[in-house]
Structure 1
């Protein structure tokens, strides 16, 4: 495990702002730093899904904020479309420096709380490097795979022991987070191994493993609401739940999850997760994620019915109900209902005229659900692969003055509040509609991230 060395200057100007006055009973935690090549004017700090504060960058691209009576624990900050997690304790004075051109790799911390956050970033970067290693490991037989993983875990646990030994004042809370950051990504890959092995094996079957393969589960507590938004933890829980569902006898997934698999997964979530917030989150992610993977208006209504029975979150239920209504509002093999769109010169257009006589993919998006960086990378790939299709991006809501950089502005539009398109966009979730040259809808609810979109694009590209 590498150790970051803080080399940047100018951080003292921020630390100098911090008062040592302890007369006030309230505790003040400081969070600030400098952003090189910023891609927005501010930094937003979150705790779980709640915004703690928004800090504006000054003329030197620096920011400083203070949090009153901050709880100890995991937070994350966002700048533009990028984010990273941090661990804060009361009276910390954590200062960062990063370059958005190399966001995670350039991120370093100084001030009180820096050492613990630098090692967490190291854990993240090491985990990213290990992805390539596991491409090969996943092809190994179970005994050999487990041996490789056990060796890797031994190194990680040694890193943990050395850090705790050299930092005796660290809280139990941070020690737990550090161990999770080091080991849970590997546990997550252990849970995913059967699916990956089946993907690469000649017969496409799961490997045969004995019970000892999952002994590490005995030391894992899966019901922790406070870690629901911490990727090493949440990704492990997700892979564990899927693995438990496959263990019921389901065959490896080829292109989409069967209706029975989705129903069983929802039941597994309900049975295994006792924490209400975490359970609701995974129920929502599952039913929506499987629907988007299907990439079709032919929704699995049994799964939706099961979700409504199991979830206790009214906000989630409303979102899913809107999604279901949206699927029925555009009918395949019929002409797309006409509606108005606005370009970035503030000119109104009829969608029927914009796409006339052209094979088209309309992508409706909201910054709440999808990042601009992902849209750029995905549509550059799709437009190169399918040159006979016109790709149009339509912003549902958000700042109407912003367009997606690095994509052709002539294919970018947005909707005003009066547009009839809102009739089939009530959930505000991203949605793709594919239309042939005759104006007929061939797919009314596709997802640009789903492999199941490919056959539709192949067919559309021919015509």
Structure 2
């Protein structure tokens, strides 16, 4: 049988469907039945990693020929409650357990990273040896396939490689330059074994996350060689140009390269307010990226951000209030205003941002804090606010979300816009969770 089945039950679903994908391509959207269950046949099966998503949460499942896997999870505790049964379940339960163990171990490793590089490396090797021993016993006992073994081994290797790439950034006692200078010989010997073009792993979290950390690190090492900087500055144009240069030179797989370039561009543009640096960065990006879609997205984003530079007038777009009345975005700006955004697909951000704003309203009554929901469903947002017992005052919804998000360059939910009474922009790209945010609010009041 050259097919496979994936089904399951979702307790406390946030909507009535799940999405099955492979390599970022959506295979199908499957509706849940009256019992919150689903069943999907993949025919023909392309063995490897698939993703299933529900309500903004995402997880991976490993499928091979003739597998028939049933998953069960509680949407309120998505990853921790996920279990698999059926043919092929043992491999998937192993992978989800590794995922959860990695989360715990990575927090422990973060504390370990305050030690000297020699001690850190020894302790890290000891933990990795435990993971390796458990995996060796598992694959021997269950006679797992070569493909599964490759993926599970990559999980171990790249997760621990990532911790070594992160070490210079997470050892807080010294500058990043000093941390790098004091690394012992051989600390990064594993780099000679890196496969930058692994088609099977390109969407696998441990592999992809490692590549991101790796390019951050080698770009910083290069940057320090031709810079007097000693501290990591992720807003530096030169550093970010170095990063995409290395991605371009070391990665030949177009899919992996374009994905890493896009991620790097979003990270840079979202962290930097140096608008004059955007054009040289964009030119370098376009020389390297071969994805027409990505090129259009990054170009559009940068053009929109340039329009949002301080001193410009806030672009207008249509919103609705909780009564369904249509308004222009600028209609409710009567004084110093902070505009933030939320989505019910990002529950944690929704709760944390509203909690934060409740505190800030008490501290800065001179400022109007305005929330805008960015989701496509124009009815659910009010219900969602009521369910969480948040007041509806100063809550709005984009009438045309996709158009508005493009106009306001909303590629990240964390963006906050600070606007003067006369509707000119003070900062079109800040973050309420930044340690400098309250200083910016005081600056807005004093404009």
Q: Find the counterpart in structure 1 of residue 3 from structure 2.
A: 28
Find the counterpart in structure 1 of residue 282 from structure 2: 304
Question: Match for 2:174 among 201, 206, 223?
Answer: 201
Distance change in 2, residues 1:419/1:39 (3 Å): closer
2: CA distance, partners of 1:419 / 1:135: 39
Is it true that 1:231 corresponds to 2:214 in the alignment? no
User: CA separation in 1, counterparts of 2:246 and 2:25?
Assistant: 28
Is the aligned partner of 1:55 residue 2:38? Answer: no
The alignment status of 1:68 with 2:36, answered yes or no, reads: no
The equivalent position to 2:254 in structure 1, one of 272, 276, 283, is 276
Establish whether residue 424 from structure 1 lines up as the match of residue 407 from structure 2: yes
CA distance in 2, matches of 1:203, 1:268: 19
Mapping of residues 168-187 of structure 1, within 5 Å: 168=143, 170-187=144-161
Structure 1: give runs of 5+ residues left out of the alignment: 1-21
Computed over aligned residues only, the root mean square deviation of the Cα atoms, in angstroms, reads: 2.8
Whole-angstrom CA distance in 1 between matches of 2:393 and 2:341: 15
1:360 corresponds, among 321, 337, 340, to 337
Structure 1 residue 160 corresponds to structure 2 residue 140: no
Q: How many angstroms apart in 2 are the aligned matches of 1:180 and 1:451?
A: 36
**Superposition deviation, residue 182 in structure 1:** 2.6
Unaligned runs of 5+ in 2: none
Equivalent position of 1:10 in the other structure: none
CA deviation profile, 1:194-249 (whole Å, cap 9, x unmatched): 1212x343797324113311222333312123422211010111111111112214
Structure 2 residue 348 is the aligned partner of structure 1 residue 373:
yes
More helix by share: 2
How far apart, CA to CA, are the structure 1 residues paired with 2:86 and 2:265? 43
User: In the alignment, is the contact (CA less than 8 A) between 1:28 and 1:91 conserved in 2?
Assistant: yes
1:340 aligns with: 318
Offset from partner CA, 1:279-315 (integer Å, 9 cap, x none): 1111111112111012564543211110011111110
What does the per-residue CA deviation read over 1:302-358, in whole Å, with 9 as the maximum and x for residues that have no partner? 11110011111110110111112212323423543554321232112243342312x
Paired with 1:380 and 1:448, the residues of 2 have a C-alpha distance of 11
Residues 256 and 293, structure 1, Cα contact 8 Å, conserved in 2: yes
Match among 102, 114, 139 for residue 114 of structure 2: 139
Q: Is the 8 A contact 1:296 1:443 kept in 2?
A: no
Normalised by the size of structure 2, how large is the TM-score?
0.88
Q: Deviations over 1:121-150 (max 9, x none)?
A: 111111111132123211111111101001
Answering whether residue 218 of structure 2 is matched by residue 244 of structure 1, we say yes
Query: Whole-Å Cα distance in 1 between the matches of residues 77 and 410 of structure 2?
Result: 34
* 2:417 aligned with 1:442: no
1:50–1:457: structure 2 CA closer, same or farther, 3 Å change rule?
farther
2:398 is the alignment partner of 1:410? no
Residue aligning to 2:190? 216
Greater shift in the superposed pair: 396-405 or 173-182: 396-405
